[in-house]
Structure 1
């Protein structure tokens, strides 16, 4: 059975509130309301009250101490408790059966579809055990069928609403982390990916390359052919970068204007080949009125040229600057720094033609 927990914090609060609410409820119904409670029943209900309150407090304020699988078994535990108490108190009333709503709502909100199906099945079986044994087959059948259908419809509605919310969240996340024109990562998203990649590279010892590039004379393209053609050029370059940076962990981003960045899990030679492949892909473009745009590219590699994300970005930017100063349409690769630089210093670079 596939187990997937969504929103562990929400699940822990849901279980906590159920348990902390069930404790006082059991005290009232099992100790205060009965006309002639026996000492044994009083002791049992008082013990259960404190157990439920303690477990609820643990789930609410110390959820990290609760085993992860507890959130999976929570609806099944709820079904068992509800069924057992209804049988013990000989209560087949509608109010008593409505407590089955909690495991149904919990599974529909936080667990996978398979667990949701199993929860509905067990709720139906538990309700059947109560109503058939207390009300008899004729009356019990009607109550059992009504509750089962109601629980199924509830689960369907809640699961549908959850799916809609998840799709909306995905759209919002895409809008928050993707560049709206090209669809690649925006600066905020790329900075996060770069920081995580550098941290991973320090752990594994594997190199990562940062390629920074912009379109040569992009302002002239806009001024000559219009911003529509300029936007088309940006999209074509982004598409070419995505085709070249096709590794599972490669990331393409747009920092703004005509400046792009590419993060690749490769070494210096792999990055140099990727730069050549990008040029080749852009050179194939035949849909722009002014022909394919030229590219200036700067490359830096960690750990060859930098030790942190900030240093890697500075080294790649410096290489791009030197490529543009050298005549544009070139690729520049940063030199390994001979010594630790001050904040105002940047590594020297090696410039090669396109």
Structure 2
């Protein structure tokens, strides 16, 4: 078992035990430093599941900044007091750091979260990881224990803060859980009736039972954010606009591929390329990846950290991806009209490489 370390990393997120976890981490750093003479430091790190590309994500960034600021303030307060609640006169200074990681990645699985945290820990020589027992890295998805298992593979000491969990009991379900249940039940029930092909009493009853079982099992883990009627209606409306556009792109690509097949010289130039899209979130990334695959001439092979791995048949299909029309259309569906006004992937790559200045985005409406 690794020796106790005063160099600690704490993944953070808003939870009922966040405050107590902060207190435990800073006091552990000071205790171990007092016993071993190590230089104590605690790093509070927030792994994000989105990429900050333009002003449409500023509210999420502000929320993260507020959470990290809470951690710093609480840590400073706890260092001023000893374990008995009295003012501390210990001459041990604990360094407190905060950071955001994962902005340049797609963080989906427990392994993705563990990887960015371990990279941060290796770069800063942090030997111990303390985890908030109520921390939810994947939103509402149950990913804490798998993430802890991935972190433990590194050989670092990984532990949950021994804090008392706050169990909230209520006779009435929360509005967030009700909205998740309603959307899950409606989608499952509608899909069942669609597959059955006949609206009969038997199908309605069995469909309702099946949808109820699916809702009970999956409703609370299938949504990162609680669905709202307004968001659902707006996304559904924008998706109805997106479908004809996608069909047009599919038809156009079919003609291009047919021309290549019928051409005597078969002018193909197949390549694998990494496509960095300004899209994040399971559903939006899946929509973009499947849209690319449905368009003849391009195939999404994999999602790799901060990008999609795409096989393209011709140079023109690669140019189409670089122009970013499909990416902007998916952004329009999930994030609104203002979110579609961003530089193209080619322009962003040029800025990243330092070969071109960034194109200013228009103000959000």
TM-score class, shorter:
under 0.3
TM-score by length of 1: 0.22
TM-score by length of 2: 0.22
Q: In proportion to residue count, which structure has more helix?
A: 1
- Between the two structures, name the one with larger relative contact order (CA 8 Å, sep ≥ 6): 2
Indicate the structure (1 or 2) with the bigger Cα radius of gyration: 1
